[in-house]
């Protein structure tokens, strides 16, 4: 009877461990609630330079994610309502714990390591079509897509908004191919009235893939056009209240 009383609790512990390992672990609870929103512009076909910049950016982003961080990836197209969510999951990993709390934790590090490799494969599977399957659209609704996404994921409070795009708006709202510096304040006031500048306090915005035009030759932007597009987005995100904004060719994390 005494032997049974010693063995039985051990069996329960072993069974509960296997049960916890068999059930998919919730890695979102292992982090601090950080969410990252990643928008990928599909309105221009990628050339070899785009592919290299994009691949390097995805690798940089993955390396910056901590265990439990949530990554949400959406496409950006000619119609904000056509944006597709292609990935939404938290990076596997277990919270650092002391010995006693670790004994009772449902998160198993050995399982998390396997799940992390699976997670990385799922990200690659999600973004690979962005390179292998080319798309090209005459219009691009970047402003409305950003506004919609800020509202859609407000409950997740993203700490970062990362955008791979040339940031050249070409829609009923504005056509950046002929953007003049003198027109920027009036355009921003118009967007404010339309409620298209959503509050993004505390968000860090990183844009990469910027600097070339929308044409099939993907030529570098002319100096004045480049400056005016930069001025617009700097002013746009300043009004939105973002913490930090960076616009460039490569991802700067």
Does residue 144 belong to any structural domain of this protein? yes
Which domain, by its residues, includes 243?
Answer: 27-247
User: 3-class secondary structure for 179-242?
Assistant: CCHHHHHHHHHHHHHCCCCCCCCCCEEEEECCCECCCCCCCECCHHHHHHHHHHHHHHHHHHCC
DSSP letter for 177, please: G
Does residue 8 belong to any structural domain of this protein? no
Residue 8 CB coordination number (10 Å): 10
| Beta-bridge partner residues of 164 | 40, 208
- Which residue from 84, 73, 74, 76 is spatially nearest to 43, judged by alpha carbons? 76
Please give the chain's pLDDT, 253 residues, in tens.
Answer: 444 444 444 434 433 444 444 457 889 988 888 999 999 999 888 889 999 999 999 999 999 999 999 999 999 988 998 899 999 999 999 876 544 344 445 788 889 999 999 999 999 999 998 888 877 788 899 999 999 999 999 988 899 999 999 999 999 999 998 899 999 999 999 999 999 999 999 999 999 999 998 777 788 999 999 999 999 999 999 999 999 999 999 998 8
Asked whether the beta carbons of 50 and 218 are under 8 A apart, the reply is: yes
Does residue 163 belong to any structural domain of this protein? yes
The domain that holds 181 is classified in CATH as: 3.40.50
Q: How far apart are CA 161 and CA 205, in angstroms?
A: 5
Asked whether the beta carbons of 71 and 38 are under 8 A apart, the reply is: yes
pLDDT for the residue 178 = 87
Asked whether the beta carbons of 187 and 239 are under 8 A apart, the reply is: no
Distances (CA, A) of 127 to 73, 84, 101, 132: 9, 12, 37, 9
pLDDT for the residue 99 = 42
Burial of 153 (0-12, 13-18, 19+ CB in 10 A): middle
Number of H helices, E strands in the chain: 7, 6
Does residue 54 belong to any structural domain of this protein? yes
pLDDT for the residue 97 = 55
Does residue 6 belong to any structural domain of this protein? no
Which are the contacts of 20, defined by CB distance < 8 A and separation ≥ 6? 106, 108
Does residue 17 belong to any structural domain of this protein? no
pLDDT for the residue 22 = 42
pLDDT for the residue 214 = 78
Asked whether the beta carbons of 72 and 34 are under 8 A apart, the reply is: no
DSSP letter for 165, please: S
Does residue 182 belong to any structural domain of this protein? yes
Asked whether the beta carbons of 203 and 160 are under 8 A apart, the reply is: yes
Task: State how many domains the chain has.
Answer: 1
Does residue 9 belong to any structural domain of this protein? no
């Amino acid at each position: 009877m005494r032997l049974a009383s010693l063995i039985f609790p051990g069996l329960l512990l072993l069974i509960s461990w296997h049960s916890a390992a068999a059930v998919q672990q919730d890695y979102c609870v292992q982090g601090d609630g950080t969410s990252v929103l990643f928008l990928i512009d599909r309105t221009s076909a990628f050339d070899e330079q785009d592919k290299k910049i994009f691949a390097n950016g995805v690798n940089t982003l993955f390396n910056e994610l901590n265990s439990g961080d949530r990554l949400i990836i959406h496409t950006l197209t000619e119609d904000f309502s056509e944006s597709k969510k292609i990935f939404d999951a938290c990076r596997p990993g277990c919270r650092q714990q002391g010995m006693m709390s670790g004994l009772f934790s449902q998160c198993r590090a050995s399982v998390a390591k396997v799940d992390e490799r699976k997670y990385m494969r799922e990200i690659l599977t999600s973004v690979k079509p962005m390179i292998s399957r080319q798309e090209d659209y005459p219009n691009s609704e970047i402003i409305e897509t950003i506004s919609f996404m800020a509202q859609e994921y407000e409950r997740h409070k993203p700490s970062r908004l990362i955008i791979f795009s040339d940031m050249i708006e070409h829609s009923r709202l504005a056509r950046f191919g002929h953007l003049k510096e003198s027109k920027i304040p009036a355009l921003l006031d118009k967007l404010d009235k339309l409620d298209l500048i959503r509050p993004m306090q505390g968000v860090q915005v990183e844009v990469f893939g910027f600097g070339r035009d929308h044409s099939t030759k993907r030529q570098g932007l002319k100096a004045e056009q480049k400056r005016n597009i930069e001025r617009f987005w700097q002013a746009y995100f300043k009004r939105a209240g973002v913490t930090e904004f960076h616009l460039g060719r490569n991802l700067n994390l």
